[in-house]
A and B are shown apart, each in its own frame.
Chain A
Amino acid sequence: MKKPFNKNKILNRLWFFLLFLGIISFAIQFTQFTIWPLRGYSKELNHVEFSWKSYFNGTYQIQKESYLTRYLKTAPIFARAYNEYFFRLFHKAKANNIYIGDDWVLNEYFYIESYLGNDLLDKNKVDSMVEKVKSTQLTISGLNKQFLYVVTPNKTEFFKDFFDETKHAVPSNNNYKQFIKAFNDKGIKYIDFNHYFNHTKFDYPVFTKGGIHWSQYAAALAADSIIKYIRHEIDSTIYPFESNNIEVKQAEKVDIDVWASMNLLIPNPYGNAAYPIWKNPPAEVPKKLNMLVISDSFFWQLYSSGFENWFQNLYFNYYNQLIYQKDQSKDKTMQNLKEMLDQCDIIIVMSTEAKIKDAGWGFFDDVKTIYQTSN
C-alpha cells in the first residue's frame, strides 16, 4: 500500500533547501571560487576598514554595503539573469552606452553620434587642433624622428543598415571628414584605416557584429600596413609582417567585447571570425627601432598580439595617461614622456574616427611643453 505523502515533511525539506541556498550564497564569500565573473570595466571599490568613528557617523555602513554588494560571489548570476530579462523585455543593455542594432549588431552611442556628425566641432577648433598636430610633426621631424597619425575605423558606416538612426542618414559632415580635410591641407602624415576598412572588400570581416573595435583580422592587416609604411618611409630593414595562417573559429574576446559587457545569460550568438596567427620576427633578427604609440583601446589588439617583437622597444601610451611596456605599466609623467620621445624613432598617434575630436589627449600640448622647456 502506498504511503500517503506528508505535505509538511516535503515543505520542511523545501524550507531547508532554501536555507541551504541562502547559507551557500553567504559561505561562498569565504572561498576562492568565482562564479561566471562579469565583463566590462567598472571602478574597483576598496576594502572597508572598521572604525568606531566611521561606524557612528554612518560612513562605514554605506561603504561596506557597497563593497559587499559589488563583490558578492553569486552576484554575477543575478546580474546576468536581470540583464537578460532587461534585454528581452526592453531590448536594451544594462551597460553604459551600448546601442543594440538589428541582428545582434552592437555599437556604442557615441560612435553613431560621431558618424552622424552630432558632435561636430567648430571648423576653427578643428583647424587649431590640427595645427598642433602639424607643430608636433615638425618638432619630431626636426629631431630626426618620424611622426604618423593613424585613424582607426568606426564600424557604424560598415553596419549602417543595422541601426535605425543611420539606415536612411547620409551625414553631410562630421569631425572625421573635417579632420581628414585639415590633415590634407596641412600636410599631416596619416594612414586612414577608417576609409580603407569601410570601403574595401576583404576575404574575412574587418568588423565584428559584437565587438566595438576592428576585428583581429583587421588588426593584423593594420599591423601589416604600419610595418609596410615603416619599411617604405623609415627603415627598409625592419622585418616584414607575416602571418602563418588564419584560424577561423567562433568569435571571441575582443571581437565580442560589446556583447560580453552586456553580461547576459545566453551564449555568444556570433558565428566565426578570422584569427591570423602572427609570425614573429626570428630572435636573431636585429631590432633597431624604438616606437612610441599614443592610442586609445584600438592599439591593444596589436600590442597584445606581439607587435613589440618588431621593435627594440615599443611603448604604448594609453590615452596619454598610462604607459605600457612589455608586461609593466606606469603613469605617464612629463619626465618619462620626454625620455621616450628622446629614445624613440617613430611616434604614432592613433585614434578612432569617433575620438578624433580628442586627438592626442593632450599629447601635442605635452610635446610643445617639453620641447619649448628644453629650448
Chain B
Amino acid sequence: MVFSSYLFLFYFLPITLLVYQFSPKNWKNGILLLSSIFFYAWGAPKFVFVILATTLVDFAIANKMAVTSNKVQRKLLLSLAIIINVGLLAYFKYVNFFIENVNQLFTYFGLQTFPFAQVILPIGISFYTFETLTFIIDVYRGTQKPLKNFWNYQLYIMFFPKLIAGPIIKYHQIADQIINRIDNPEQKMVGFYRFCIGLAKKVLIANAIGTVVNDIDSLSIDSITSSQFWLASICYTFQLYFDFSGYSDMAVGLGLMFNFRIPENFNMPYIATSITDFWRRWHISLGAWMKEYLYLPLGGNRVNSKLRLFFNLWLVFLISGLWHGASWNFVLWGIYHGFFLIIERAFLLKWYSKLPKLFSWAITFFIVLNGWVLFKTESMNDVVLTYSKMYQIDSGFQFYIPIEFRIPLYFAIFFSFIGLFGKFEKKIISFFNADTFSLSNHLGLIVISMLLLLLSCGALFSDSYNPFIYFRF
C-alpha cells in the first residue's frame, strides 16, 4: 500500500484516524500497531512474519543487554543482533548481487557458476533494519533504556508513516513519544497540511516530470540525443527530489496527525553550496544515521591522520551508496559523492569560501546532477554511453517538453531554488518547522491543502481512467 493510492487515502487512513481518535488513550498504540501490521501485510504478505519475528528477537536481545552488566556478554549480544539484522538485509538485498559478481568472475576463469537465489526483497527492509540497529546500539551504549512493552517497541519499528520509505528514525528520537504524547488539534491540522503538500509534490509534480524521463528512457539508448540525455537528467533530478521529499512530507504529516513528531528528511538540498552542505540537506535521516552509527565509531573527525579521515568519509559513502541498491552504479554513486566530500575537506571548501555563493551553488548543483546519472543508470555500459553523449553536444540544445510536463518542471525548479534568494530559505524553514499558526493562516492553509488534495486525488484517478468517447473495437 502506498500513501498516494485511493485505498490508503479513502479507506485505510480515514478508518485508522477515526478509530484512533475515539479510542481510549491506552488503546491508541495498539490501534496504531494493528493498522501498521495491516498496512505492511497488504503490500508484503509473506514478509510480515519476518518483521514480526525479527522485532521479537531484537526486543529480547535489547532487554537482555539492558540487564547485563558483563561487558563481554553485552558485546556478544550486540554482535548477535547486528549479525541477525544485517545478515537478513544482506541476504534479501545483496545475495543475488554477490552471486552475479562471483559468477562473472567464475565465468572468466571457466568455472561452474552458481544459480541465483529465489529471493524477493521485503519492502522497507533497508529502513527498518537501520532503525532496529539504532535501538540495539542505543541500548548497548546506555543512552536509552529499552521499552518495557514489546508492543510499543513493535510500534516503533512498524509505525506505518515511516515504515516503507523512512525517514529513518533513531530510537531515542521517538521513544518518549511512544509512551507519552498529547492530543494536540493544531498539530493534527498541521499534519494534514503537510500531508497534502507532500501528496501534491509527488503526484502533481514528480509523477508529471517522471513521464518525460520514462519517455526518453523508453527509446533505444543509441538513438537518444545529447539534448535528450540532458533533459532526462534534469527532469530526473527534480523528479527524484519531489518524489522522495514528497513522500517524506507525507510521512511527517501522517506522524503529526497521530501526534508524533517525525524528524525532517529534506531541507532544500538543491540550494546547497557544497557537497558537504548537500548531505546536511538531502535524506537527512540517512546522513544522521551514518554519522552517528558508522562515521563516529570509525573515529569521525578525530582521527590521527587526514588519510584516515578521508578513508572514513569514503567508506561511509560507499556504504551509503550500497544501501540504496544492490548494483555497482549505486556503489559508484556513493564513491562519487565520497570523492567530492574528500576534496572539499582537502581544499575545495576553502576555494568556495572565496567565491560568490552563486558560483559554489552552481558547481555543487552540477556535481549533484551528474551524480544522479550514476544513480539512475544500472548498466555500466549505459553509464559510459550516457556521459559520453551528454558531453558530445551533437546537435545543439533542443529541448521539447509538452506543456503538461513543462509547467510542473517550472514549478519544481522554482520551489527547489527559491531558497537561494533573500530570506526565503529562513521563511520556508520556519514555515515547515512551525508548530503553531494564527487562525487566519490555518483557514488559508486548509483551503490550499484541500485544493491540493482534490487535484492530487484527481490526478491519481486519471492515471487509471482515460476514457474513449465511445466503446469501439
Residue interface mask B318-338, A partner, CB < 8 A = 1: 000000000000000000000
Give min CB distance, A37 to chain B, whole Å: 12
Q: Is the CB of B10 within 8 A of A25?
A: yes
- Stretch from A69-77, A168-176, A190-198, A223-231 at the B interface: A69-77
Q: Is the CB of B404 within 8 A of A39?
A: no
Give min CB distance, B409 to chain A, whole Å: 13
Binding site for A on B (CB under 8 A): 1, 5-7, 10-11, 13-15, 17-18, 21, 42-43, 45-46, 185-186, 188-189, 192, 403-404, 407, 439, 442, 446, 454-455, 457-462, 464-473
Q: Which residue of B is nearest A41, CB measured? A: B471
A-B contact pairs, 14 of them (CB 8 A): A7-B439, A14-B185, A14-B446, A22-B10, A25-B14, A40-B470, A42-B468, A75-B461, A78-B454, A78-B460, A82-B455, A95-B469, A96-B466, A319-B472
Q: Is the CB of B468 within 8 A of A97?
A: yes
Interface of B is mostly: helix
Contact of A23 with B by CB under 8 A: yes
Q: A14-B442, A78-B454, A85-B455 are in contact. Are A69 and B461 (CB under 8 A)?
A: yes
* Bound form: Cα–Cα A132–B376 in Å: 54
Give min CB distance, A28 to chain B, whole Å: 10
Q: Which residue of B is nearest A355, CB measured? A: B472
* Bound form: Cα–Cα A324–B220 in Å: 46
Q: A22-B14, A40-B469, A92-B404 are in contact. Are A69 and B455 (CB under 8 A)?
A: no
Give min CB distance, A347 to chain B, whole Å: 20
* Bound form: Cα–Cα A82–B464 in Å: 13
Contact of A8 with B by CB under 8 A: yes
Contact of A58 with B by CB under 8 A: yes
* Bound form: Cα–Cα A108–B472 in Å: 14
Q: Which residues of B contact A85 (CB under 8 A)?
A: 455, 458
Q: Is the CB of B467 within 8 A of A39?
A: yes
Contact of A66 with B by CB under 8 A: yes
Q: Which residues of B contact A296 (CB under 8 A)?
A: 472
Binding site for B on A (CB under 8 A): 5, 7-8, 10-12, 14-15, 18-19, 22-23, 25-26, 38-42, 55-56, 58, 61, 64-66, 68-70, 72, 74-75, 77-83, 85-86, 89-92, 94-98, 108, 212, 257-258, 261, 263, 296-297, 319, 321, 361
Q: Which residues of B contact A321 (CB under 8 A)?
A: 473
Q: Is the CB of B469 within 8 A of A261?
A: yes
Interface of A is mostly: helix
* Bound form: Cα–Cα A212–B472 in Å: 14
Q: A11-B186, A81-B458, A90-B404 are in contact. Are A41 and B468 (CB under 8 A)?
A: yes
Q: Is the CB of A79 within 8 A of B461?
A: yes
Having A82-B455, A82-B462, one finds 8 other A-B pairs with CB under 8 Å, namely A14-B442, A40-B469, A78-B458, A81-B458, A92-B403, A95-B466, A96-B468, A261-B468
Give min CB distance, B364 to chain A, whole Å: 32
Give min CB distance, A197 to chain B, whole Å: 20
Q: Is the CB of B461 within 8 A of A82?
A: yes
Q: Is the CB of A26 within 8 A of B14?
A: yes
